[in-house]
């Protein structure tokens, strides 16, 4: 059985190294895992309970919920913006957390990876993403981590998918997600 992993990328920039890291996950997924990058996070309005009404949920938010509900696991790919999680990724988690206790993220295995320019690779943002996803109801794999430092120089001429160390680490994270999804 193929484990379906949905990747949510916290950067909206087309040339984002975090987008490329998600592409590396697609490229290096083991045979029993498929990874799909969810498009459309930019189209989701900020979470507001007044517009989260059954039958009239904004289309992009409903699409996100349906995509997550259809996935076996989530891979959050987070850059670090001013020392924390990007708003677009936090907003996605907020939409997925509702309705409270039964949101699409509830019980779903979640791993967080990312890259950033700094010397720690965005660990603060990734820790915040783990915390937020866990509080939202996700089954966060605390041990499944990948923080790639120095993204601007490291990936200046090499796509993360062509970096052997990154490819190996991404594969390990996906194997951990698959194991948790099949548990």
Query: What's 173's domain CATH number?
Result: 3.40.50.360
Cβ partners under 8 Å of residue 138, min gap 6: 74, 96, 105, 106, 107, 108, 109, 110
Single out the residue of 1, 121, 22 nearest to residue 74, CA to CA. 22
Number of domains in the chain: 1
Q: Which domain holds residue 48?
A: 3-181
Single out the residue of 104, 115, 112 nearest to residue 131, CA to CA. 112
User: In whole angstroms, what is the distance from residue 49 CA to residue 118 CA?
Assistant: 36
3-state helix, strand, coil in the chain (%, to 5): 40, 20, 40
Kindly list the strands in the beta sheet with 33-37, ordered across the sheet, starting from the edge strand earlier in the chain: 33-37, 3-9, 73-77, 109-115, 139-148
Element (H, E) at 88: helix 87-96
pLDDT of residue 100: 87
Q: Model confidence over 45-75: pLDDT tens digits?
A: 999 999 999 999 999 999 999 999 999 999 9
pLDDT of residue 121: 84
Q: Phi and psi of 152, rounded to 5°?
A: -65, -40
| Contact call for residues 147 and 113 (beta carbons, < 8 A) | yes
Report, as ranges of residue numbers, the positions in the chain whose pLDDT lies below 70: none
pTM: 0.96
């Amino acid at each position: 059985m193929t484990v379906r992993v949905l990747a949510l990328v916290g950067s909206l920039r087309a040339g984002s190294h975090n987008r490329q890291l998600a592409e590396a996950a697609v490229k290096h997924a083991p045979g029993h895992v498929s990874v799909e990058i969810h498009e459309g996070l930019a189209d989701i309005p900020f979470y507001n309970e007044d517009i989260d009404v059954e039958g009239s949920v904004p289309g992009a938010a409903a699409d996100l919920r349906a995509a997550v509900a259809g996935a076996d696991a989530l891979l959050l790919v987070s850059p670090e913006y001013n020392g924390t999680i990007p708003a677009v990724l936090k907003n996605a988690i907020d939409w997925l957390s509702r309705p409270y206790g039964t949101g699409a993220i509830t019980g779903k295995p979640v791993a967080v990876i990312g890259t950033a320019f700094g010397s720690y690779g965005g660990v603060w943002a990734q820790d915040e993403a783990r915390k937020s996803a866990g509080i939202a109801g996700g089954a966060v794999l605390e041990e499944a981590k990948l923080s790639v430092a120095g993204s601007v120089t490291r990936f200046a001429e090499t796509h993360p998918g062509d970096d052997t160390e990154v490819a190996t680490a991404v594969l390990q994270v996906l194997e951990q997600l698959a194991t948790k999804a099949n548990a």
